[in-house]
Structure 1
Amino acid sequence: MTTERRRRPPRDRWGREPSADLDTGPDADPESVARTILLDQLTGRARTRSELADKLASKGVPDDVGHRLLDRFEEVGLVDDAAFAREWVEQRQRGKGLARRALAQELRRKGVEDEVAQEALEEVDADTEEESARRLVRAKLRSVSALDRDRATRRLVGMLARKGHSSSIAFRIVRSELDAVGLEGGDDDLDAGSYEPVG
Protein backbone atom coordinates (compact mmCIF):
# COMPACT_ATOMS: atom_id res chain seq x y z
CA MET A 1 0.00 0.00 0.00
CA THR A 2 1.55 3.26 -1.12
CA THR A 3 1.03 6.44 0.75
CA GLU A 4 0.77 9.50 -1.43
CA ARG A 5 2.62 12.44 -0.07
CA ARG A 6 0.49 15.55 -0.12
CA ARG A 7 2.31 18.51 -1.57
CA ARG A 8 2.02 21.59 0.58
CA PRO A 9 1.28 24.83 -1.24
CA PRO A 10 4.06 27.47 -1.24
CA ARG A 11 4.01 29.89 1.65
CA ASP A 12 4.70 33.60 1.75
CA ARG A 13 7.39 35.24 3.87
CA TRP A 14 5.12 35.14 6.93
CA GLY A 15 4.53 31.40 6.62
CA ARG A 16 0.98 31.78 5.30
CA GLU A 17 -0.41 29.94 2.34
CA PRO A 18 -0.90 32.88 -0.05
CA SER A 19 -4.40 31.97 -1.19
CA ALA A 20 -5.54 30.09 1.91
CA ASP A 21 -8.39 32.54 2.60
CA LEU A 22 -8.97 33.58 -1.00
CA ASP A 23 -12.00 32.10 -2.71
CA THR A 24 -11.28 32.27 -6.43
CA GLY A 25 -13.89 29.77 -7.55
CA PRO A 26 -16.49 30.53 -10.21
CA ASP A 27 -18.93 31.94 -7.62
CA ALA A 28 -16.36 34.20 -5.95
CA ASP A 29 -17.16 37.91 -5.85
CA PRO A 30 -14.49 39.62 -8.04
CA GLU A 31 -14.46 42.73 -5.85
CA SER A 32 -13.90 40.69 -2.70
CA VAL A 33 -11.14 38.73 -4.42
CA ALA A 34 -9.49 41.93 -5.65
CA ARG A 35 -9.71 43.59 -2.22
CA THR A 36 -8.06 40.56 -0.59
CA ILE A 37 -5.29 40.56 -3.21
CA LEU A 38 -4.64 44.27 -2.72
CA LEU A 39 -4.54 44.07 1.07
CA ASP A 40 -2.23 41.06 0.88
CA GLN A 41 0.09 42.89 -1.52
CA LEU A 42 0.21 45.96 0.70
CA THR A 43 1.11 43.96 3.80
CA GLY A 44 4.75 44.55 4.56
CA ARG A 45 5.58 47.29 2.07
CA ALA A 46 4.08 49.95 -0.16
CA ARG A 47 3.54 49.25 -3.84
CA THR A 48 2.76 51.43 -6.82
CA ARG A 49 -0.61 51.50 -8.49
CA SER A 50 0.95 49.95 -11.59
CA GLU A 51 2.41 47.03 -9.62
CA LEU A 52 -0.95 46.39 -7.97
CA ALA A 53 -2.84 46.64 -11.28
CA ASP A 54 -0.44 44.08 -12.79
CA LYS A 55 -1.02 41.74 -9.86
CA LEU A 56 -4.79 42.01 -10.16
CA ALA A 57 -4.61 41.36 -13.90
CA SER A 58 -2.42 38.30 -13.34
CA LYS A 59 -5.07 36.92 -10.97
CA GLY A 60 -7.83 37.42 -13.54
CA VAL A 61 -9.57 40.34 -11.82
CA PRO A 62 -11.68 42.26 -14.37
CA ASP A 63 -10.16 45.62 -15.31
CA ASP A 64 -13.19 47.69 -14.27
CA VAL A 65 -13.21 46.08 -10.80
CA GLY A 66 -9.46 46.59 -10.42
CA HIS A 67 -9.60 50.26 -11.47
CA ARG A 68 -12.52 50.98 -9.18
CA LEU A 69 -10.82 49.41 -6.16
CA LEU A 70 -7.46 51.02 -6.91
CA ASP A 71 -9.21 54.41 -7.12
CA ARG A 72 -10.79 53.75 -3.73
CA PHE A 73 -7.47 52.63 -2.22
CA GLU A 74 -5.88 55.85 -3.51
CA GLU A 75 -8.71 57.95 -2.01
CA VAL A 76 -8.09 56.51 1.45
CA GLY A 77 -4.29 56.75 1.12
CA LEU A 78 -3.46 53.04 0.93
CA VAL A 79 -2.01 53.52 -2.56
CA ASP A 80 0.05 56.68 -3.06
CA ASP A 81 2.61 56.73 -5.88
CA ALA A 82 4.02 60.11 -4.82
CA ALA A 83 4.70 58.89 -1.26
CA PHE A 84 6.08 55.62 -2.65
CA ALA A 85 8.46 57.52 -4.96
CA ARG A 86 9.72 59.80 -2.16
CA GLU A 87 10.38 56.86 0.15
CA TRP A 88 11.98 54.78 -2.62
CA VAL A 89 14.31 57.62 -3.62
CA GLU A 90 15.32 58.33 -0.03
CA GLN A 91 16.02 54.68 0.81
CA ARG A 92 17.79 53.73 -2.41
CA GLN A 93 19.85 56.92 -2.54
CA ARG A 94 20.94 56.62 1.09
CA GLY A 95 21.31 52.84 1.19
CA LYS A 96 22.70 52.08 -2.28
CA GLY A 97 24.22 55.40 -3.28
CA LEU A 98 22.15 55.55 -6.46
CA ALA A 99 22.22 58.74 -8.50
CA ARG A 100 19.11 60.41 -9.86
CA ARG A 101 19.46 58.77 -13.26
CA ALA A 102 19.44 55.24 -11.80
CA LEU A 103 16.61 56.14 -9.42
CA ALA A 104 14.52 57.48 -12.31
CA GLN A 105 14.99 54.21 -14.19
CA GLU A 106 13.94 52.18 -11.15
CA LEU A 107 10.83 54.30 -10.60
CA ARG A 108 9.92 53.95 -14.28
CA ARG A 109 10.19 50.16 -13.97
CA LYS A 110 7.88 50.35 -10.93
CA GLY A 111 5.30 52.16 -13.06
CA VAL A 112 5.62 55.58 -11.43
CA GLU A 113 4.68 58.38 -13.84
CA ASP A 114 7.61 60.56 -14.91
CA GLU A 115 6.14 63.74 -13.42
CA VAL A 116 5.61 62.06 -10.03
CA ALA A 117 9.11 60.56 -10.16
CA GLN A 118 10.63 63.95 -11.04
CA GLU A 119 9.09 65.56 -7.96
CA ALA A 120 10.62 62.88 -5.73
CA LEU A 121 14.00 63.15 -7.47
CA GLU A 122 14.11 66.91 -6.87
CA GLU A 123 14.61 66.12 -3.17
CA VAL A 124 18.07 64.69 -3.94
CA ASP A 125 20.47 67.61 -4.17
CA ALA A 126 23.80 67.55 -5.98
CA ASP A 127 25.84 67.71 -2.76
CA THR A 128 24.06 64.68 -1.30
CA GLU A 129 24.52 62.78 -4.55
CA GLU A 130 28.23 63.60 -4.65
CA GLU A 131 28.76 62.65 -1.03
CA SER A 132 27.08 59.29 -1.67
CA ALA A 133 29.43 58.70 -4.59
CA ARG A 134 32.44 59.56 -2.42
CA ARG A 135 31.29 57.12 0.27
CA LEU A 136 30.96 54.37 -2.35
CA VAL A 137 34.47 55.03 -3.65
CA ARG A 138 35.99 55.14 -0.15
CA ALA A 139 34.32 51.84 0.71
CA LYS A 140 35.95 50.22 -2.35
CA LEU A 141 39.43 51.76 -2.04
CA ARG A 142 40.89 48.83 -0.15
CA SER A 143 39.78 46.38 -2.83
CA VAL A 144 41.65 48.34 -5.53
CA SER A 145 44.76 49.22 -3.51
CA ALA A 146 46.86 46.51 -5.21
CA LEU A 147 45.93 47.75 -8.71
CA ASP A 148 47.74 50.39 -10.71
CA ARG A 149 46.01 53.74 -10.87
CA ASP A 150 44.52 53.27 -14.34
CA ARG A 151 42.92 49.94 -13.46
CA ALA A 152 41.72 51.25 -10.08
CA THR A 153 40.21 54.27 -11.85
CA ARG A 154 38.43 52.09 -14.41
CA ARG A 155 37.00 49.83 -11.73
CA LEU A 156 35.79 52.67 -9.48
CA VAL A 157 34.38 54.78 -12.32
CA GLY A 158 32.57 51.71 -13.68
CA MET A 159 31.06 51.07 -10.25
CA LEU A 160 29.79 54.66 -10.04
CA ALA A 161 28.44 54.49 -13.60
CA ARG A 162 26.38 51.42 -12.67
CA LYS A 163 24.92 53.48 -9.82
CA GLY A 164 23.80 56.11 -12.33
CA HIS A 165 26.50 58.74 -11.76
CA SER A 166 27.66 60.67 -14.83
CA SER A 167 31.15 59.93 -16.11
CA SER A 168 32.37 63.48 -15.48
CA ILE A 169 31.35 63.39 -11.83
CA ALA A 170 32.61 59.82 -11.44
CA PHE A 171 36.07 60.65 -12.84
CA ARG A 172 36.39 63.80 -10.74
CA ILE A 173 35.47 61.99 -7.52
CA VAL A 174 37.61 58.93 -8.24
CA ARG A 175 40.68 61.05 -9.08
CA SER A 176 40.18 63.11 -5.95
CA GLU A 177 39.83 60.05 -3.70
CA LEU A 178 42.80 58.26 -5.30
CA ASP A 179 44.90 61.40 -4.84
CA ALA A 180 43.84 61.55 -1.19
CA VAL A 181 45.18 58.04 -0.52
CA GLY A 182 48.25 58.61 -2.69
CA LEU A 183 47.67 55.89 -5.28
CA GLU A 184 50.36 56.60 -7.87
CA GLY A 185 50.88 55.60 -11.48
CA GLY A 186 48.97 55.95 -14.72
CA ASP A 187 48.02 59.18 -16.39
CA ASP A 188 44.26 59.02 -15.83
CA ASP A 189 43.70 59.73 -19.53
CA LEU A 190 40.80 57.32 -19.76
CA ASP A 191 37.83 57.79 -22.04
CA ALA A 192 35.09 59.19 -19.82
CA GLY A 193 32.45 58.38 -22.42
CA SER A 194 33.11 54.66 -21.99
CA TYR A 195 31.54 54.71 -18.57
CA GLU A 196 28.17 56.22 -19.32
CA PRO A 197 25.58 53.79 -17.95
CA VAL A 198 23.34 52.09 -20.45
CA GLY A 199 19.66 52.93 -20.31
Structure 2
Amino acid sequence: MRPRTRAELAAAMRKRGVEDDIAAEILDRYDEVGIIDDAAFARAWVTSRHHGRGLSRRALAGELRRKGVSSDEVGEALDQLAPDVEEQTARDLVARRLRVESNAAPEVAFRRIVGMLARKGYPPGLAIRLVKEALADRDAAAAEFADSIDPDALADSTLEPDSR
Protein backbone atom coordinates (compact mmCIF):
# COMPACT_ATOMS: atom_id res chain seq x y z
CA MET A 1 0.00 0.00 0.00
CA ARG A 2 1.39 3.38 -0.95
CA PRO A 3 0.89 6.71 0.85
CA ARG A 4 -2.22 8.65 -0.18
CA THR A 5 -3.02 12.31 -0.52
CA ARG A 6 -5.74 14.01 1.48
CA ALA A 7 -7.94 14.16 -1.64
CA GLU A 8 -7.51 10.43 -2.32
CA LEU A 9 -8.42 9.55 1.28
CA ALA A 10 -11.45 11.84 1.16
CA ALA A 11 -12.62 10.19 -2.06
CA ALA A 12 -12.15 6.72 -0.56
CA MET A 13 -14.17 7.70 2.53
CA ARG A 14 -16.92 9.20 0.38
CA LYS A 15 -17.03 6.00 -1.67
CA ARG A 16 -17.50 3.97 1.52
CA GLY A 17 -20.36 6.18 2.62
CA VAL A 18 -18.62 8.22 5.32
CA GLU A 19 -20.35 11.56 5.79
CA ASP A 20 -18.35 14.56 4.59
CA ASP A 21 -18.20 16.34 7.96
CA ILE A 22 -16.99 13.18 9.73
CA ALA A 23 -14.45 12.52 6.97
CA ALA A 24 -13.20 16.12 7.30
CA GLU A 25 -12.71 15.66 11.06
CA ILE A 26 -10.81 12.42 10.53
CA LEU A 27 -8.62 13.95 7.82
CA ASP A 28 -7.93 17.02 9.97
CA ARG A 29 -6.80 14.74 12.78
CA TYR A 30 -4.61 12.76 10.37
CA ASP A 31 -3.06 16.08 9.32
CA GLU A 32 -2.39 17.04 12.95
CA VAL A 33 -0.58 13.81 13.79
CA GLY A 34 1.31 13.70 10.48
CA ILE A 35 -0.32 10.68 8.91
CA ILE A 36 -1.10 12.68 5.78
CA ASP A 37 1.38 15.14 4.36
CA ASP A 38 0.65 16.10 0.75
CA ALA A 39 3.92 18.03 0.42
CA ALA A 40 6.00 15.02 1.51
CA PHE A 41 3.89 12.80 -0.75
CA ALA A 42 4.56 15.11 -3.72
CA ARG A 43 8.32 15.19 -3.08
CA ALA A 44 8.49 11.39 -2.84
CA TRP A 45 6.30 11.00 -5.93
CA VAL A 46 8.54 13.30 -8.00
CA THR A 47 11.69 11.48 -6.93
CA SER A 48 10.24 8.03 -7.50
CA ARG A 49 8.51 8.64 -10.83
CA HIS A 50 11.29 10.74 -12.33
CA HIS A 51 14.07 8.31 -11.49
CA GLY A 52 12.00 5.17 -11.96
CA ARG A 53 10.02 6.00 -15.10
CA GLY A 54 11.89 9.00 -16.47
CA LEU A 55 8.86 11.28 -16.42
CA SER A 56 9.33 14.99 -17.08
CA ARG A 57 8.29 17.87 -14.84
CA ARG A 58 5.17 18.44 -16.93
CA ALA A 59 4.03 14.82 -16.68
CA LEU A 60 4.74 14.73 -12.94
CA ALA A 61 2.79 17.94 -12.38
CA GLY A 62 -0.22 16.46 -14.16
CA GLU A 63 -0.09 13.27 -12.12
CA LEU A 64 0.14 15.17 -8.84
CA ARG A 65 -2.76 17.46 -9.74
CA ARG A 66 -4.90 14.43 -10.59
CA LYS A 67 -4.08 13.07 -7.13
CA GLY A 68 -5.39 16.25 -5.53
CA VAL A 69 -2.09 17.87 -4.53
CA SER A 70 -2.31 21.68 -4.43
CA SER A 71 -0.47 23.77 -7.02
CA ASP A 72 1.84 25.25 -4.39
CA GLU A 73 2.89 21.80 -3.17
CA VAL A 74 3.31 20.60 -6.76
CA GLY A 75 5.58 23.57 -7.49
CA GLU A 76 7.66 22.98 -4.39
CA ALA A 77 8.07 19.29 -5.21
CA LEU A 78 9.07 20.03 -8.80
CA ASP A 79 11.63 22.61 -7.65
CA GLN A 80 13.78 19.72 -6.40
CA LEU A 81 14.08 18.51 -10.01
CA ALA A 82 16.66 20.73 -11.70
CA PRO A 83 16.36 21.31 -15.48
CA ASP A 84 19.83 19.83 -16.10
CA VAL A 85 18.82 16.65 -14.22
CA GLU A 86 15.66 16.43 -16.29
CA GLU A 87 17.64 16.83 -19.51
CA GLN A 88 20.17 14.21 -18.43
CA THR A 89 17.36 11.78 -17.68
CA ALA A 90 15.94 12.39 -21.16
CA ARG A 91 19.40 11.89 -22.65
CA ASP A 92 19.73 8.56 -20.77
CA LEU A 93 16.30 7.47 -22.01
CA VAL A 94 17.33 8.26 -25.60
CA ALA A 95 20.58 6.29 -25.28
CA ARG A 96 18.79 3.29 -23.77
CA ARG A 97 16.05 3.31 -26.41
CA LEU A 98 18.56 3.80 -29.23
CA ARG A 99 20.20 0.51 -28.22
CA VAL A 100 16.82 -1.21 -28.62
CA GLU A 101 16.29 0.51 -31.98
CA SER A 102 19.81 -0.37 -33.22
CA ASN A 103 18.53 -2.25 -36.29
CA ALA A 104 15.79 0.24 -37.16
CA ALA A 105 16.18 2.75 -39.96
CA PRO A 106 17.19 6.20 -38.67
CA GLU A 107 13.80 7.68 -39.64
CA VAL A 108 11.96 4.97 -37.73
CA ALA A 109 14.22 5.21 -34.68
CA PHE A 110 13.84 9.00 -34.69
CA ARG A 111 10.04 8.83 -34.80
CA ARG A 112 9.81 6.15 -32.12
CA ILE A 113 12.21 7.77 -29.68
CA VAL A 114 10.77 11.28 -30.05
CA GLY A 115 7.33 9.74 -29.51
CA MET A 116 8.51 7.96 -26.37
CA LEU A 117 9.88 11.22 -24.95
CA ALA A 118 6.65 13.03 -25.84
CA ARG A 119 4.61 10.43 -23.95
CA LYS A 120 6.83 11.02 -20.93
CA GLY A 121 6.05 14.75 -21.14
CA TYR A 122 9.26 16.18 -22.58
CA PRO A 123 8.93 19.28 -24.78
CA PRO A 124 9.21 18.70 -28.54
CA GLY A 125 12.27 20.91 -28.99
CA LEU A 126 14.26 19.07 -26.34
CA ALA A 127 13.18 15.64 -27.57
CA ILE A 128 14.05 16.38 -31.19
CA ARG A 129 17.42 17.91 -30.29
CA LEU A 130 18.47 14.99 -28.06
CA VAL A 131 17.43 12.32 -30.55
CA LYS A 132 19.14 14.19 -33.40
CA GLU A 133 22.37 14.37 -31.38
CA ALA A 134 22.20 10.66 -30.49
CA LEU A 135 21.53 9.64 -34.09
CA ALA A 136 24.42 11.78 -35.32
CA ASP A 137 26.72 9.78 -33.04
CA ARG A 138 25.30 6.37 -34.04
CA ASP A 139 26.63 5.72 -37.57
CA ALA A 140 27.13 7.36 -40.96
CA ALA A 141 23.58 6.76 -42.27
CA ALA A 142 22.02 7.97 -39.05
CA ALA A 143 24.35 10.99 -39.00
CA GLU A 144 23.29 11.89 -42.55
CA PHE A 145 19.63 11.64 -41.56
CA ALA A 146 20.27 13.67 -38.39
CA ASP A 147 21.93 16.43 -40.41
CA SER A 148 18.78 16.75 -42.52
CA ILE A 149 16.56 17.36 -39.47
CA ASP A 150 15.56 20.94 -38.71
CA PRO A 151 14.62 20.79 -35.00
CA ASP A 152 13.04 24.26 -34.98
CA ALA A 153 10.73 23.47 -37.90
CA LEU A 154 9.76 20.12 -36.42
CA ALA A 155 9.12 21.56 -32.96
CA ASP A 156 6.98 24.31 -34.45
CA SER A 157 4.99 21.81 -36.53
CA THR A 158 4.27 19.66 -33.48
CA LEU A 159 2.73 22.63 -31.72
CA GLU A 160 0.29 23.46 -34.52
CA PRO A 161 -3.05 21.60 -34.64
CA ASP A 162 -3.54 19.02 -37.36
CA SER A 163 -5.16 20.68 -40.37
CA ARG A 164 -6.77 17.53 -41.78
Instruction: Give the drift of 1:195.
Output: 4.9
1:58 equivalent to 2:15? Answer: yes
Number of positions where the alignment pairs a residue of Structure 1 with one of Structure 2:
153
**Aligned equivalents of 2:112, 2:143: Cα separation in 1:** 15
Render the CA deviation track for 1:56-109: whole Å, top value 9, x for unaligned. 000000000000000100111100000000000000011111110000000011
Residue ranges of structure 2 left out of the alignment (5+ in a row): 160-164
2:78 to 121, 130, 154: 121
CA deviation string 1:22-70 (max 9, x = no partner): xxxxxxxxxxxxxxxxxxxxxx321000000000000000000000000
The 8 Å contact of residues 97 and 136 in structure 1, kept in 2 or not, is answered as yes
| TM superposition shift of 1:188 | 2.0
**Identity across the alignment (%):** 48
TM-score normalised over the length of structure 2: 0.87
Q: Which amino acid aligns with 1:103?
A: L
Match of 2:3 among 46, 57, 70: 46
* Residues in 1 aligned to 2:49 and 2:104: alpha-carbon distance in whole angstroms: 29
* 1:95 matches 2:52: yes
Task: Output the amino acid matched with 2:51.
Answer: R
The answer as to 2:155 corresponding to 1:192 is yes
Give the 3 Å change call, closer, same or farther, for CA 74–107 of structure 1 in structure 2. same
**Post-superposition shift, 1:146?**
2.2
Which structure is larger by alpha-carbon Rg, 1 or 2? Answer: 1
Instruction: Give the secondary structure class of the aligned counterpart of 2:133.
Output: helix
Does residue 161 in structure 1 map to residue 118 in structure 2? yes
Q: Which has the higher helix share?
A: 2
> 1:127-171 CA deviation, whole Å, 9 max, x = no partner?
110111011111111222222222211111111011111011111
Q: TM-score, normalised by structure 1?
A: 0.72
1:79 is aligned with what amino acid?
A: I
Counterpart CA distance in 1 for 2:32 and 2:138 is 54
Task: Give the partner amino acid of 2:82.
Answer: D
Aligned amino acid, residue 60 of structure 1: G
Q: Aligned match of 2:136 in 179, 187, 195?
A: 179
Q: Pick one of 2, 13, 36 that aligns with 1:79.
A: 36
Q: How well do the aligned residues superpose, as a CA RMSD in angstroms?
A: 1.5
CA contact (8 A) 1:148 1:184 kept: no
